[in-house]
Structure 1
Amino acid sequence: MAKRRKKTGSRHGLQAVTLCISTAMVLILLGLVVFSVLTARNLSTYVKQNIVVTLMLQDDMTSGEAKQFCSKLKQRPYICRLDYISKEQALREGIKTLGADPREFADTNPFLSSIEITLNADYANTDSLQIISRELKSYSKVSEVKYQKDLIDSVNANIAKISIVLLTIALLLTIVSFSLINNTIRLSVYARRFSIHTMKLVGASWGFIRAPFVRRYMLLGLLAAIIACIALGGAIYILYMYEPDILEVLTWQVLAITAGTVVFFGLFITALCSTISVNKFLKMKAGDLYKI
């Protein structure tokens, strides 16, 4: 009898380990998808906020007028950052780039003063930039407005495609993870179907019978989530060691949301699957238990 109990306990322990490992692997994949989606969103914002719109100013615009114009522009809601480049500064940068002083060939400074603007991410799209460009050109002292239209179109198109692909993968992975975890839990509950029926015969309520199963599998789900978070943390650290610039788009909010999603799904899926599995056997009659 003791040997039989030992064998049963060993089997249940093996089932718990199998469930924990399989759930952790699914949660790692799910966490990677969530992390990729959030990082892609931050990367999109980072790229958009580094797209420069250049305003070329007319030659007769003085430094005082330019500074007043910059102060006026800073009040616009689409401005993230603004840098004024004077004719003298443009000349110094030109000499450094060309390796020669253009004034040797001409009597005057050929460079114009300019203003470099980086936009808030919400305005860094083609439609908004067309409206902003028309507004900026309406100022009398602005001779030209330049920005990389092809780059903006490419960034927006690629981010949209990546987001759709990642969200589709996340949806499919959620369905697959539910199916895998549900099958594993159902097999584990199946081994104790007669114990469930016995408790039902002695008058135990469905909630009383179901509670220990749900608690047990939620604890296993929490353990699997912790293992998944540790594995994801290790992978992110390795990524940081390989590419330190990842910190430009990797924030604590991304890490918190990823970890929270992993823990939530670890608890939610195991609780839901165990409830469904136990309810299935609670609804069965004694004769049906021998037929499955």
Structure 2
Amino acid sequence: MEEFEASTAAKKTKTIYISTVFGIAMVLLMLGLLGLILVHANNLSRYIKENMVVNVFVDESARETDVLQLQKQLDSNPYVKQSQYVSKELAARNLQKDLGEDFVRFLGVNPLSQSIDVYIKADYANNTDLSKFSAQLLKNPLVKEVKYQQSLVEMMNKNIGSISLIILVFAGIFAIVSIALINNTIRLAIFSQRFLIKSMQLVGATKGFIRKPFLLYGIWHGLLGALIAIVILMGTLYFATRQIPDLVVLQNYTEFGIVFLLVVGLGIFISAFSTWLAVNRFLRLKIYDLYR
């Protein structure tokens, strides 16, 4: 009879621990997904900003060697990510593709100017910095005109700022809810062990001695839950990339690694801290309070 009761108790404890691990894993999965969304949103914002073109038109009488020298100067500018020289012939071919007809043959002359397409770094993709950049360029005698879409830049930064704020607020709320869910899951698991905790205390075990195995289990459960969440996150990333190949340009494996490490760190920390709080609570309770 005693062996049957011991076996039943062991199975019940095992079931509680398994459910605790999977409960932690599911919450960490949601946190990890949110982290990946934040990473992709940030990379998308940077990608959009760094693919906005500033057209630098040079004087028609400028020699190609001088224009290429100007391009080298632009590439060394802290505002510039990269640049591309566009000759009159290349500009004509690009416009011909857009129009669908040979306008040079119709006009008898190529009216387009040679230019340099400049791609600005994301940190400087705003009207204030672009105005300063344009003013610097116009001081160069080779530069005839600098063009970029001011209204588009303003609208882009405004929309990106609003979306980022919404995502951050949502992330904060979700993080608080996730911590509360993990804490409640662990408290329920420790609740089933309250009589064992009190029995150990009554026979003279110190609080540190009683707390230690529960903390080790808490750390182990947090680590297991985090690893399960990471495996599912990696599968989700693989599936998303297969379905949407263009996501590759937004993916940064260093940032993904940071997200995964944060998931592991949060899983271990929240699980251990919640276990510490729950065990301490039952250590402070009187015997008759255990039945309430």
Determine the structure 2 residue equivalent to 1:47. Answer: 48
Deviation at 1:95, TM superposition (A): 4.2
Q: Specify the SS of the correspondent of 2:140.
A: coil
Residues 44 and 155, structure 1, Cα contact 8 Å, conserved in 2 = no
Change (3 A) 1:97 1:178: closer
The aligned runs of 1:92-171 (5 Å cut-off) are 92-98=93-99, 99-106=101-108, 108-171=109-172
| CA drift at 1:171 | 1.7
Q: Distance in 1 between matches of 2:151 and 2:157?
A: 10
Does the alignment pair 1:226 with 2:227? yes
Deviation, structure 1 residue 49: 1.3
> Bigger CA drift: 224-233 or 152-161?
152-161
For residue 111 of structure 1, give the secondary structure of its aligned residue in structure 2: coil
Question: What's the secondary structure of 1:10's corresponding residue?
Answer: helix
The alignment status of 1:282 with 2:283, answered yes or no, reads: yes
Q: TM-score, normalised by structure 1?
A: 0.92
Deviation digits for residues 145-171 of structure 1 (CA, Å, limit 9, x no counterpart):
111223322332232223222222222
Map Cα deviations across residues 242-277 of structure 1 (whole Å, 9 max, x no partner). 111211111111220121111111111110110000
TM-superposed deviation, 1:176: 1.4
Show structure 1 runs of 5+ residues with no match.
none
1:140 Cα shift?
A: 2.4
Tell me how large the CA RMSD over aligned residues is.
Answer: 1.8
Listed as ranges, the matches of 1:175-194 within 5 Å are: 175-194=176-195
DSSP-derived class of the 2:161 partner: helix
Deviates more, 1:154-163 or 1:80-89: 154-163
Take 2:106 and 2:272, find their aligned partners in 1: how far apart are those partners? 79
**Partners of 1:222 and 1:280 in 2: CA distance:** 23
In structure 2, runs of 5+ residues without a counterpart are none
Segment of structure 1 superposing worse, 109-118 or 14-23:
14-23
Match of 2:14 in 1: 13
Contact 1:33 1:169 (C-alpha < 8 Å) held by counterparts:
no
Post-superposition CA distance 1:7-47 (Å, at most 9, x none): 21222122112212211111111001111111111111111
Measure, in 1, the Cα distance between the counterparts of 2:190 and 2:94.
73
SS of 2:54's equivalent? strand
C-alpha distance in structure 2 between counterparts of 1:86 and 1:129, whole Å: 24
Give me the whole-angstrom Cα distance separating, in 1, the residues matched to 2:194 and 2:135.
73
TM-score, length basis structure 2: 0.92
Q: Deviations over 1:168-210 (max 9, x none)?
A: 2222222212222222221221222222122122222211101
Partners of 2:191 and 2:106 in 1: CA distance: 90
| Displacement after TM superposition at 1:96 (Å) | 4.5
C-alpha distance in 1 between matches for 2:198 and 2:266:
30
Corresponding residue number in structure 2 for 1:258: 259
Residues 285 and 104 (structure 1 numbering): CA distance in 2 closer, same or farther, change over 3 Å? closer
Residues 1:254 and 1:72: Cα distance change in structure 2 (over 3 Å): closer
